[in-house]
Chain A
Amino acid sequence: MLQLLVAALVIIFFIAKLGWQKHKGTVSTGEFIFWLVFWLVTLVLILFLKQLDRLVASLGFSVSAIQVAVYLAIAVLFYFIFRVRLKLEKIEENLTKINEVVTKKLKN
């Protein structure tokens, strides 16, 4: 019970901080909505942890809902790293194109 309370408080802190950042204008509306939904969903999941455990068990997992969430989070993180790597490739390619134009301009 105490763990749930601490987790809920941490999430409420982050939501409050997000609201403050939005008020100051340091996050865009899109980012604000994304993180608000993220933290609200997390809060709901934590509040219904017992039911989630039952759901996860009924799906055939031998671990708790929290553990499934951690595994999923790791998989998602790896996916994001991969996406960032591809994005970097694209940026590198564009950098080379700019470099060629600048090189030739400097020569002329």
Chain B
Amino acid sequence: MKVIVVIPAYNEAEWISGVICDLKKAGYETVVVDDCSKDSTVKLAEKAGATVLSHVINRGQGAALRTGTHWAIENGADIVVHFDADGQFRVEDIARLLKPLETGEADVVFGSRFLDNTTKLPWLKKSLIMPLARLVNRILFKVKLTDPQSGFRAFTSEVGNKLNWRQDRMAHASEILALIIRGGWRVKEVPITVIYHEFGQSFSGGFKILKEIFLKKLS
């Protein structure tokens, strides 16, 4: 099965080379979608050996993932993996995500930070932001996963072909999840470890996501 790892990147010069090298060592084909970075992300990604698609204008992480996913499927991927450029995900966890897809046990697999205790989440995130995010996703989208905001996911090309998320920016994670649940695909969560370099999505970021979801629903 052909696996293509899609990495959206925006100003990730600090981490991108290491991430691509690790993926290459593990034997994964990688496509980096640069979202108009102002630093040397593109040069470094190309030098590290990844295929690089460069957005002409900055459109957000959701849009970059969409470009990369479409490109991967058009280039023969059987499985598409969404991976972060900032070195917070571990390459060895990809195999965990791929297993249920390869055995035909699931159509979509999400990495979850909450299935074991290996991820050291900041307190505010663990005790307040994530429970709230889980509640909002449960109410708005009827999603009952342990980690609805996880950006580490893998799915078959059949799912990728039908997944048509419209959120360009940070709200894409919630929308992708909602579309997958609505599509009736078989979903599985596997434990992953996330190494935090920075806090990530803040409380105000959560409200921004809600605003984006609301506007997109009406437009």
Interface residues of A (CB under 8 A from B): 85-86, 89-90, 92-93, 95-96, 99-100, 102-104, 106-107
CB distance from A83 to the nearest CB of B (A): 10
A86-B219, A89-B216, A89-B219 as given contacts; A99 in contact with B71, CB under 8 Å: no
Chain A residue contacts of B71, Cβ below 8 A: 104, 107
Do B59 and A96 touch (CB < 8 A)?
Answer: yes
Nearest chain A residue, comparing its CB with the CB of B70: A100
Q: Which 9 A-B pairs have the closest CB atoms?
A: A89-B219, A86-B219, A100-B67, A96-B63, A96-B59, A102-B56, A96-B168, A103-B53, A99-B59
Chain A residue contacts of B215, Cβ below 8 A: 85-86, 89
Residue of A86, A90, A93, A103 near B67 (CB, 8 A) is A103
Do B219 and A100 touch (CB < 8 A)?
Answer: no
Question: Could you pull out 18 A-B pairs where Cβ atoms are within 8 angstroms?
Answer: A86-B218, A86-B219, A89-B216, A89-B218, A90-B219, A95-B57, A96-B66, A96-B168, A99-B59, A99-B63, A99-B67, A100-B67, A103-B33, A103-B53, A103-B54, A103-B56, A104-B53, A106-B56
Chain A residue contacts of B218, Cβ below 8 A: 86, 89
Chain B residue contacts of A99, Cβ below 8 A: 55-57, 59, 63, 67
CA A86 to CA B212, docked complex, whole Å: 11
Do A104 and B56 touch (CB < 8 A)?
Answer: no
CA A107 to CA B33, docked complex, whole Å: 11
Q: Which of A92, A96, A107 has the most CB of B within 10 A?
A: A96
Question: For the complex, is B166 an interface residue (Cβ under 8 Å from A)?
Answer: yes
Do A103 and B219 touch (CB < 8 A)?
Answer: no
CA A85 to CA B218, docked complex, whole Å: 10
Chain A residue contacts of B216, Cβ below 8 A: 89
CA A96 to CA B59, docked complex, whole Å: 6
B182-218: contact bitstring with A at CB < 8 Å (1 yes, 0 no)? 0000000000000000000000000000000001101
CA A107 to CA B53, docked complex, whole Å: 6
Nearest chain A residue, comparing its CB with the CB of B66: A100
B18-61: contact bitstring with A at CB < 8 Å (1 yes, 0 no)? 00000000000000010000000000000000010111110100
CB distance from A35 to the nearest CB of B (A): 28
CA A96 to CA B167, docked complex, whole Å: 10
Residue of A86, A95, A104 near B59 (CB, 8 A) is A95
CA A93 to CA B66, docked complex, whole Å: 12
